[in-house]
Structure 1
Amino acid sequence: MSSTPRGVRWITAGLLGVALCGCSSLTAGTGGDTGGSPSAGSAPDGPDVPAFAQDLERVCTDGLGYPGLPAYDRTKKTVHPAMLMNKPGDDWSQSEPSAGDFPKGWFLGYSDKPAEAELVVCVERTKATATGKVCDMEGDGGKPFKVRTYNTSYRLKVVEARTGEELYQHTGEARSDECPVYMLTSKGEDADKYYNEVRPRDFRENVRPYIAP
């Protein structure tokens, strides 16, 4: 029987480890027009920088970088910190890989400043296909329910955070015929569907040449 953490209806594992860890991201609030005052992601006398991880969505979707971020120079043989952004559904959010998924320093965590990012790694689900498999699960209080599983296709991009330039793109599939050990769902998601998602360790070698050349 799976345990259910406080504040979560029921949980399941397997989502993009990170994206799929169900952790929420901070989103910059929006206010009314104050007549030319700077936005939350820019300084009054400096170039534009992201104030929140969610601000980096535009890097993934529109190739719009932030001029105030540190320059990326792949010729420098050092770790170039990246922000991992995940889109398993309608919205982008920051993901923090679990300890051991990547070497320390490769990805910024929830407590780090997004303005430290040199790169943005964008992982987006592009397609879901039913496997036909139905899994028996237990929810709150041991209440049984059934979950249908789906294989997914995904797109992975490595983008320079400062310029928005796409440095690398890869497409792949996440397939499995196993039932989840546990699940984590977010508000608005179907509680009877489980999506096999690419795991952080599955794309470690894809991003290594850019983050740790």
Structure 2
Amino acid sequence: MQRARIWVAAGVLGVVLCGCSSSAGTSGSGSDGGSSSAGAAGKAADEPEVPVTTQDLERVCTDGLGFAGLPAYDRTKKTVHPAQLMNSTGDGWTSGVPVDGDFPKGWFLDYEDKPEQAELVVCVERTKATATGKICDMEADGKPLKIKTYNTSYRVRVVEARTGKEQYTHSGEAESDECPVYIFTSDGEDADKYYNEVRPEDYRGRVKPYIAP
């Protein structure tokens, strides 16, 4: 058996388990003695709202509430319509960037892109988890650990970022009877559970007609 390694990055603890078997602003005084920030605030209030960070786009997935300041989505235009990827396993949403190679470059916002570039939001969520009954013998920190595996139900939605209008939805199942070679866990997650999740290749073709028609 190989020893498990512990990774610490950005305050998140990830444990690699190796498989063993298959079982602000400032204000100033104007000439009339009033604060000049009041005028600036009034001007800002008149401008269409845009997300400050990609995480702000969470509300598009949760409430169907868009941002009026974002670019309009027109599917008839045969060009790439940039999307933000949002993921949920049942406890809130997290903005993410796909791994290189999972999707063609430009489909989803990257770390260097600005959230106000998003025309679409792709919401990928786990809706249900069902125990498979399979137990996998793993190892963590040199000690044996039994991992329970779960199949999951998922839903993928493509939503217009500007209006919150749903363009497409699909529900499916992520199932497997194989033990993982390794898994990552974070703070707050059960280290003895492994969930079969939807993979990018499972929905790449489904979102293509909306992102890259």
Please confirm whether the aligned pair reaches a TM-score higher than 0.5, indicating the same fold.
yes
Measured against the shorter chain, the TM-score band is 0.7 to 0.9
User: Residue deviations 1:166-187, cap 9 Å, x none?
Assistant: 0000000000111112212222
Deviation at residue 45 of structure 1 after TM alignment: 4.5
Provide the aligned C-alpha RMSD in A: 2.3
1:166-177 pair list within 5 angstroms: 166-177=166-177
Tell me, what secondary structure is at the counterpart of 1:55? Answer: helix
User: Residue deviations 1:92-147, cap 9 Å, x none?
Assistant: 0012111111110001123422111100000111100000111122223x222111
Normalized per residue, the structure richer in strand is 2
Name the structure 2 match of 1:10.
Answer: 15
Provide the C-alpha distance between the structure 1 equivalents of 2:93 and 2:172, rounded to a whole number of angstroms. 19
Provide the C-alpha distance between the structure 1 equivalents of 2:5 and 2:131, rounded to a whole number of angstroms. 26
Name the structure 1 match of 2:88.
Answer: 87
Provide the C-alpha distance between the structure 1 equivalents of 2:17 and 2:158, rounded to a whole number of angstroms. 28
Provide the C-alpha distance between the structure 2 equivalents of 1:188 and 1:112, rounded to a whole number of angstroms. 30
TM-score (norm 2): 0.81
Consecutive unaligned residues of structure 2, counting only runs of 5 or more, are 19-37
Tell me, what secondary structure is at the counterpart of 2:135? Answer: strand
Tell me, what secondary structure is at the counterpart of 1:94? Answer: strand
TM-score (norm 1): 0.81
Provide the C-alpha distance between the structure 1 equivalents of 2:83 and 2:111, rounded to a whole number of angstroms. 12
Query: Does 1:164 find its partner at 2:164?
Result: yes
Deviation at residue 56 of structure 1 after TM alignment: 0.9
Name the structure 1 match of 2:149.
Answer: 149
1:24-103 pair list within 5 angstroms: 43-103=44-104
The structure number with the bigger radius of gyration is 2
Name the structure 1 match of 2:136.
Answer: 135
Q: Is the CA contact 2:14–2:186 (under 8 Å) kept in the aligned structure 1?
A: no
Aligned length: 188
Consecutive unaligned residues of structure 1, counting only runs of 5 or more, are 14-34
